[in-house]
Amino acid sequence: MKTTVMTLVTLTAMIGIILFSVSGGLINYDSERTFRVMVVTEDQELIKLIPAQPYAYIGRDGKLYVEITESNPNFPGYGSGLSPDTVYAFDCVFKVKNSLWQNQTIFFAINSSSPSILVYSPEDTFVNSPETATMNMVFPLQWKEEICIGMVFNLSDTTEVGVKINATI
């Protein structure tokens, strides 16, 4: 009699667990969260962005700018920009360095908001030249590793002089 009761209790518990699982008691829940990264001055930064060409500079607000105009503080009054109907490639416009997380690899993403401005890195396995440059790039960055980021300015469809291309990367 005791074994029959124990068997019945065990069987009832197993059926309850199965019904609980099937009825949605155990559901997979996916969640997406938004996060923001701010580019700040060097003494506050988590990842270093280092200008490597005269066209790139850190502004007074601590942000990295790439500016090819006569307003660039490194070339005040020199040159008005890029020629129409041309393609320019600069191998190392700025560098990215992981100097914070000891012995930790981070993944760094670069996204261009303009199809006229593409990115690549000579150190990357796939996106490593102007010919393979892309609007979106993700690469691992080891602790203390520094990677150059090149940029392609594709103005081949631009014949008008005075056109400004503003983009965010």
Q: Which of helix, strand or coil describes residue 57?
A: strand
Local mean pLDDT, 10-residue blocks, the chain (169 residues): 57 58 52 50 69 89 84 77 87 89 82 89 87 91 91 82 65
Query: Do residues 95 and 49 make contact, with C-beta atoms less than 8 angstroms apart?
Result: yes
Dist. CA 125–CA 100, nearest whole Å: 24
Q: Against a cut of 0.75, is the pTM above it?
A: no
Query: Do residues 120 and 62 make contact, with C-beta atoms less than 8 angstroms apart?
Result: no
| Cα dihedral across residues 96, 38, 129, 165: positive or negative | negative
State pLDDT tens for residues 87-124: 999 999 999 998 876 788 888 888 888 888 999 998 88
- Residue 118 is predicted with a pLDDT of 92
Burial of 25 (0-12, 13-18, 19+ CB in 10 A): exposed
